[in-house]
Structure 1
C-alpha cells in the first residue's frame, strides 16, 4: 500500500513539473501586435485606407519577415502608447521612441534602430538664426549648460513650441525655460500649425520629422534655423518599447535589427524617408 502511495505521489509530482515546465516555456512570438501613432511623418503615417506607411512601418514589415512573425500594426495616440503597452493592449511600441533613463523605469527597449539628432525650425521670414553645424551634448547639465549659452541668448524672449512627454521637452524646459516661453502640445503637427500661423517663434523636433515636413510642404515658408543637436543627451537612440520580462521578444527584435543594420537596410530606408542616414552606432 505504501509503495502504491509512493508511486502515485511520484507520478503526481512529475505531472505537476511537466505542467509547470509547459507554462514557463519560452514564448515563440509568432504573432506580434505593434502600436504606433500613425501621424509622425515620415517616421510613421496613416494612409487613407487605414494602412500605415513611413520609415518605421516599412522597417517593421522587413523586420517581421526576418523574425518569421505575423505582425499587425495598430493606431494609438502618443499619451496612450506606454500605458497601453503596460496594460497588455499590444506587444510593442514603435513611434520614434527614444531610450531614456526615465522610460527605462517603466518599460524595456530593443536595441536602437536609429539615432536621430534634433533641431529648430522657424518661418523663413522671421530672420531667426540660431547657428549651424552640430552641437554635441552629453545630458549632463554642468557640461551642457555652457555649450548652449549662445542658443540661450538667441532665444531670449522667444516662444518655443514642443511636444510634451518627450526627451526634447525636458531639454527645452531645463535649458530655455528661464529665458523663453515654452508652449507644449499633444501631437507633432500642432506646434507646426501654430508656427505657420505665427503663434510660436520656433519649434524644436527631431531632424527626421522636420526634414519630412520640409519635403511635404514644398514652399511652406519654413526653414531649419539651428544646429543639429546630438549626443548622449537623447539616450542611445530610437527603439521598440516592450514590457519588462519579455526576453524572448527582445532577443528576436534585437537579432532582426542587427541584421537590418549589418546589410545596410536601415541606412537605405533612412536615406529614403529622411534624406539623412540615422543608422545607430554598432555595439
Structure 2
C-alpha cells in the first residue's frame, strides 16, 4: 500500500496532520498533545513525532482509515472529545475511575509509574513531611495533579499547562520538585543535558486511585464499537511484534507493564 503524508498547519490551538492510507476515504480523527516527549512532540518543521504518534498511525493503517491528528492542549482533551472535535484520544491518558465517569477507554497500551524528580541531594526526602512547604510542580488536569494534592498536602502544588513548562521552572529554580511519569521524566529530562544535576526522589508512587491502571485510547461512552475495534488493534499490534518494534524505537525498557 502506498502511503502519502499531507501536512496542513492550522493557526490557533491545534495543528492538523493527515496521512492518506485508506481505500474507503473514511477518517479517524485522533486527539494528540505534541508536548510530551518521547510520547509526542513537535519538530521545528511542525511535524509530530513520538511513540503515541506512531501508535496512532499504526492504528489508522490497520483500520484502513485516513489518520487525522489534531493537536490539543492537555486540559482541553476530554472536553474536545466530548464536543466531537475528534473520535479518540491517543495521548498517554491514564485509565482512572474518575475519568471513566465521563469517557470510556480501550485496554491499556502501556503502564509506567509516577515518580518525583528534584536536584540531586536536595536536602529533603520524597515523603509527605519532606515536601512540606516545598513548591511541587505538576502538569494541570493530570493524574499527577491528583496524586500531588492527595499525597503531599503540605506542599505548594504549582500547576502548568504542559510538562515542558514544569521542567523549565524546575531548572530555573522556581520549583523544589516535580511529579510526573517516571519514563517521561527519564527520557524527556534526566537523560538530557538539561537534566544534569537532577535525579529521582523517593520510590515509584503506589496510588492506583489517582494514577489508574495504565494508559488507554479514550473514546466517548456511546462509541463502544470503536472502543472494541481499537482494543483489538492493540492486541494485534502486541501479538505480531509491531508493539515491540515501536517500544524499542523510543525506550530501553518494556513500557507495557504487568
Bin for the TM-score computed over the shorter chain = 0.7 to 0.9
Q: CA deviation at 1:64?
A: 2.0
Task: Name 2:238's counterpart in structure 1.
Answer: 261
Query: What residue is the counterpart of 2:253 in the other structure?
Result: 276
8 A contact 2:29–2:67 mirrored in 1? yes
Which residue of the partner structure matches residue 111 of structure 1? 107
Greater share of helix: 1
Counterparts of 1:219 and 1:188, CA distance in 2: 14
Is residue 47 of structure 1 aligned with residue 43 of structure 2?
yes
Per-residue CA deviation, residues 129-167 of structure 1 (Å, 9 max, x unaligned), is 53xxxxxxxxxxxxxxxxxxxx12322332211112111
Residue in structure 1 matching 2:192, options 202, 216, 222 = 216
- Structure 1 position 192 matched with structure 2 position 188: no
Q: Tell me how far 1:208 sits from its aligned partner.
A: 2.0
Q: Deviations over 1:90-114 (max 9, x none)?
A: 1111211011111111111111101
Q: 2:80 aligns with which of 78, 84, 87?
A: 84
- Cα shift at 1:55: 0.8
Q: What CA deviation, in whole Å up to 9, does each residue of 1:48-104 have, x standing for no partner?
A: 222211111112222222222221112111122111111111111121101111111
Give the distance between the partners of 1:271 and 1:214, measured in 2 at CA: 19
Structure 1: stretches of 5+ with no match in the other structure: 1-27, 131-150
**Structure-2 residue corresponding to 1:226:** 202
Higher relative contact order, structure no. (Cα contacts within 8 Å, ≥ 6 residues apart): 1
TM-score w.r.t. the length of structure 2 is 0.82
Q: Is the 8 A contact 1:38 1:75 kept in 2?
A: yes
Equivalence for 2:67: 71
Name the counterpart of 2:33.
37
Long gaps (5+) in structure 2? 1-23
- Residue 270 of structure 1 deviates from its aligned partner by 3.0
Q: CA RMSD in A?
A: 2.1
Residues of 1 paired with 2:162 and 2:116: CA distance? Answer: 17
Give TM-score, length-normalised by structure 1: 0.76
Larger Rg computed on CA atoms: 1
**Offset, 1:128:** 4.6
Count the aligned residue pairs. Answer: 233
| Contact 1:35–1:73 (8 Å) recurs in 2 | yes
Q: How does 1:143-222 map to 2 (within 5 A)?
A: 151-177=127-153, 179-212=154-187, 213-217=189-193, 220-222=196-198
Q: SS state of the match for residue 34, structure 2? A: coil
